[in-house]
Structure 1
Amino acid sequence: MKSKEYALYRGDTLLQIGTAEELAEFKKVKRKTILFYATPSYRKRTSDKSLRTIKLLEEVEGSD
């Protein structure tokens, strides 16, 4: 099974792409913090310049 990948942004700037564990290591925070950055409640509490996590779509095999 392939790990889910996420993109970490600050505003419009892409900081890193990787698994939640890789992004947590990059920012020196817990995995659940990275996942929290993707929630609607976090977006409501913060400005557009804050960190954001976006879940990347998986490519489906055989979808020609």
Structure 2
Amino acid sequence: MKEYALYKADELLIIGTVEELAEFQKVKRETILFYATPTYQKRTTDKGLRVIRVD
């Protein structure tokens, strides 16, 4: 199962599956996946949310 890390600026908020991150943020699964895209990263500042896949 794939795990992801959710950051806000330099602060690690949670590590878990897409579903766990979505529940934590109270958003849809698709929103978490969008946070991981280059498009989202270009639209937001470094202080925004970031989702990174953990291998």
TM-score (norm 1): 0.84
After superposition, give the CA deviation of every residue in 1:6-35 in whole Å (9 maximum; x if it has no partner): 000001000000000000000000001001
Match of 1:39 among 25, 30, 37: 37
Root-mean-square deviation (CA), in Å? 0.4
Name the % identity. 71
Aligned residues: 55
Task: Answer 1 or 2: which has greater helix percent.
Answer: 2
Partner-residue secondary structure (3-state), 2:52: strand
Could you list the structure 1 runs, at least 4 aligned residues long, displaced by more than 3 angstroms after superposition: none
Gap runs ≥5 in structure 2: none
Larger Rg: 1
Higher relative contact order (Cα pairs below 8 Å, separated by 6+ residues): 2
